Amino acid sequence: MRVLVVGNGGREHAICWKINQSILVEKLFCIPGNAGIQEIAECVDFSIDDIQAITGFAKDNAIDLTIIGPEIPLVLGLADSLKKEGLKVFGPDKEAAKFEGSKAYSKDFMVKYNIPTAQYGVFTNTDNAIHALGRFDIPIVVKADGLAAGKGVLICESKVEAEEAIIEIMQKRQFGSAGDQIVIEEFLTGTEASLLCFVDGNNIIPMESARDYKKAYDGDKGLNTGGMGCFSPNPIYTDRLKAYIDNHIISNIRTGLKEENIDFRGVLFIGLMIENDQAKVLEFNVRFGDPETQVILPRLESDLVEIMMKVVEGKLQESDLVWSVKEAVAVVIASGGYPNNYEKGKIINGLDKIDDDIMLFHAGTILKDGKVVTNGGRVMAVACIEENVEKARNKIYNNIGNIIFDNMQYRTDIAKLSDD
């Protein structure tokens, strides 16, 4: 098979790494890829939002399966465009991608199908939104409806702050048209967890659990980031919680998809808030998570391409997925200053000094004059799969110091369970 992956993050490197192990694959392409992906796939330099160019490439190169990593091309309808050309694609079409493209759409779906979630209101008018604040206790959560690169959610500690957030999003249009509508939401307490599921149009099959670390610094200090580390499995997933999620969330999503005639094929990412072995849905995303993918795929023993083809054909069964009992950890190395301003173009040294049982999943890297240099906020994830989380994390932290570039930063407490 000739396979194409779209995206350039650590998630896409992990997907390419796993696909590259499949005996079904004879040629792997990636658009646009990064310095790490370049070692295992032929990278082609189109922008991920250039639907026409990507579709043209897939057609001209007789691609048998395209896997769409990031949300932007999914929401823009890359899957629809590829399917129109008779091409196979892993990832939902534009209609189904609304689960990530519109928070209001997702919330309405959850309520309609009895999926537990926070109380909320949807507003298209600033005055109405401000007026409605009286109905909510503080803190109040204000969310831009559309895609805002993970920055469109504001947790407000007072009504004045919430009013400012509404004006910022709806009138000053901080996130552009993503703020045409907003969702105002009740604040939920508990522990967050994400559950990634393969969805084949009918079956919704959860992958192994993972826990990510969103804050920039040790001890969960600093700003929110795209994710600074992750490990799998997540000990919060007790059997009772699993049963609750199956009975109240997964089965209701399945009913909703059927009733609404939504043909979802790809990965549904369910963001959860957990308390007392019960869960409420915070949000849906319509693709693999980053960095969850970097710890989940190393634990998948089945052939990923075979699984993805079954998803595309609507023939996925629970039994198709075989998971390793081993545990995995990933620690993200970022550019100094991230998630605020940071410099690019720093030469990365020491990549050849890493032990063989360590996996390096590149994110913001690029090859320049034969050298790997930084090209983004999150630069790469250092990952390992071992008998248990403890062993994996020790191996990672024994190796990570060999990687050196100016101003690098990483958390030293990823998967450190004893302090929890």
Ligand X SMILES: Nc1ncnc2c1ncn2[C@@H]1O[C@H](COP(=O)(O)OP(=O)(O)OP(=O)(O)O)[C@@H](O)[C@H]1O
Cβ proximity of 68 and 78 under 8 Å: yes
Quote the least distance from Cβ 149 to Mg ion, whole Å.
Answer: 10
Interacting partner of 217 out of ligand X, Mg ion, none (Cβ under 5 to 8 A depending on kind): none
Quote the least distance from Cβ 37 to Mg ion, whole Å.
Answer: 24
146 lies in the binding site for ligand X (CB under 6 A): no
Q: Which is nearer to Mg ion, 290 or 327 (CB)?
A: 290
Q: Where are the alpha helices (DSSP H) in 20-139?
A: 51-60, 71-76, 78-84, 98-101, 103-112, 126-132
Mutual angle of helices 10-19 and 304-313, in 10-degree steps? 100
Q: Which is nearer to ligand X, 88 or 206 (CB)?
A: 206
285 lies in the binding site for Mg ion (CB under 5 A): yes
Instruction: Look at residue 132 and give its three-state secondary structure.
Output: helix
Interacting partner of 282 out of ligand X, Mg ion, none (Cβ under 5 to 8 A depending on kind): ligand X
Quote the least distance from Cβ 41 to ligand X, whole Å.
Answer: 26
Quote the least distance from Cβ 144 to Mg ion, whole Å.
Answer: 11
153 lies in the binding site for ligand X (CB under 6 A): yes
Binding positions for ligand X, 85-144, rule CB under 6 A: 118, 141, 143
Run of H or E residues at 409: strand 408-410
102 lies in the binding site for Mg ion (CB under 5 A): no
Q: How far is CA 248 from CA 114, 237, 285, in A?
A: 8, 15, 18
Which span sits near ligand X by CB under 6 A: 187-195, 203-211, 297-305, 327-335? 187-195
Interacting partner of 187 out of ligand X, Mg ion, none (Cβ under 5 to 8 A depending on kind): ligand X
- Between CA 236 and CA 196, with CA 198 as vertex, the angle to 5 degrees is 30
Task: Tally the C-alpha atoms within 13 A of residue 34's C-alpha that lie toward its C-beta.
Answer: 27
Q: Which is nearer to Mg ion, 12 or 283 (CB)?
A: 283
Quote the least distance from Cβ 229 to ligand X, whole Å.
Answer: 15
Quote the least distance from Cβ 101 to Mg ion, whole Å.
Answer: 10
106 lies in the binding site for Mg ion (CB under 5 A): no
Residue with tokens 């206790």: 137
Taking CB under 6 A as the criterion, the residue among 187, 217, 244, 323 binding ligand X is 187
d(CA 67, CA 308): 9
Cis ω before 339 (30° cut-off from 0): yes
Nearest to 2 by CA among 92, 88, 91, 93: 88
Residue with tokens 């979802």: 264
Q: Which is nearer to ligand X, 174 or 394 (CB)?
A: 174
Binding positions for ligand X, rule: CB under 6 A: 118, 141, 143, 150, 152-153, 185, 187-188, 192, 271, 282-283, 285
